[in-house]
Each structure stands twice: as structure tokens, then as C-alpha cells.
Amino acid sequence: MAIKQYVVASFRDEDQLLPAVKKVRMQGYKLYDVFTPFPVHGLDAAMGLRQTALHTAGFIYGALGTATALLGMSWIFVVSWPLDIGGKPHFPLPSFIPITFELTVLFSAVGTTLTFCWLNQIMPGVKKHIFHPRQSDDRFVMAIEVTPKTQVEEVKQFLLSNGAEEVQVQTAEEGWWYGLFSKRQKYDDINPQWSVQ
């Protein structure tokens, strides 16, 4: 896992955060992520995020459930164990509908949930760097990745002039890794200025 530097700014509320996010993108800084204690309307658009394709994944999982149900029952009743029950057809589609519906819903729900967890990196045991101890409490936190072209002091001054109350430079591992949440990560060692007492 790569170790990177980030300029992390903390804002008091979303009215300060939203214009700052837009200005950061306009300046061409590499916005890593924004952490808020609650969903902020318009933040996705301000960050330039595209619409999620999660609904497409849900449709594909549902279609997979439908196909599994129909193919499974067809194979059982037509090929593997065909029974003559009062001269009725071996492929009675109307009687297959309840099981087909149930498998469609099951595959769609489970698949979409697992995909959502994977995309948001919230599976059990997944651990991520915490940029600010109050980022899920009452602070709005923006992290900008430091690239070779980034002038750190210039970014810090830019963020302070756009409403940030605290600006820090942090070193952290990129992405996520497996670990236990009960064991405190090296956060306090790397960034002692924002440690929770």
C-alpha cells in the first residue's frame, strides 16, 4: 500500500465546505475525498462524481436470479426427473412464478448489498485512515492529495482563505486494508495534533 501525503482541511459547516470544494476543483488540486457527518445536498456534483451504477448491478443480479430459477426448475422437471402428473406439461411456467420471483428478489438484494459494501469499502474488517477524529461527528473534512506539482503551503493558505478552520498535512496509507477496529491505527503516531484523548 502506497504512503501518500494529504492536505486535510476541517470546516465548521456545509455552507463553507461546498464553495470551497468547487474552488478546489477549479484550481486543479487533486481532491481525494470529502467526509461529512450527514449527506450534503449538491456535494456529489461539486466533487464531480458521476452517478452510481449500483442500480444497473441490481438489475443484473435480479436477471441472474430469474435465469437461475427458470433454468434450474426447467432442468429438474424436464431433463433430470420428468414426472407425468395427470398429463400436465413438464414445464408449467405459471407454477414457476413464485420461486422465480423469490430468487429474483434474493439475488438482487444480496448482490446489490454486497456490491454497495464493496464500493464503499465497508466490509467487516476493512480499515481506512481517519483524517479527522470528528469527521463523522460534527466536522466537514476535505482531503487533497499532494502530488509532485502541489505546493503544500499554497494549498494550505488557499484552504484557510476559503473558510477552513484547521489545515494539516498528513501522511497516510492509500486505500483500505484488513485489520481490527478495536486496535487503534497509527493515526495518533502520524498525526498527534488531532488525536482523541
Q: Per-residue DSSP letters for the chain?
A: --EEEEEEEEESSHHHHHHHHHHHHHHT-EEEEEE-SS--TTHHHHHTPPPP-HHHHHHHHHHHHHHHHHHHHHIIIIIIS---STT--S--HHHHHHHHHHHHHHHHHHHHHHHHHHHHT-STTEEE--S-TTTTTT-EEEEEE--TT--HHHHHHHHHHTT-SEEEEEEEESSEEE--TTS--THHHH-GGG---
Query: Is residue 41 domain-shared with residue 133, that is, in the same domain?
Result: yes
Residue that finishes a domain, picked among 71, 102, 120: 120
Query: Is residue 43 domain-shared with residue 132, that is, in the same domain?
Result: yes
Has residue 21 been placed in a domain? Answer: yes
Query: Is residue 47 domain-shared with residue 57, that is, in the same domain?
Result: no
Has residue 152 been placed in a domain? Answer: yes
- Give pLDDT, residue 196: 45
We report the CATH number of the domain holding residue 172 as 3.30.70.120
Tens-digit pLDDT string for the chain (197 aa): 678 899 999 999 999 999 999 999 999 999 999 999 999 999 999 999 988 889 999 999 999 999 999 999 999 988 998 888 888 888 888 989 999 999 999 999 999 999 998 888 787 777 778 888 888 889 999 999 999 988 999 999 999 999 999 999 998 877 776 665 555 555 555 555 554 44
- Give pLDDT, residue 135: 87
- Give pLDDT, residue 47: 93
pTM, two decimals, is 0.70
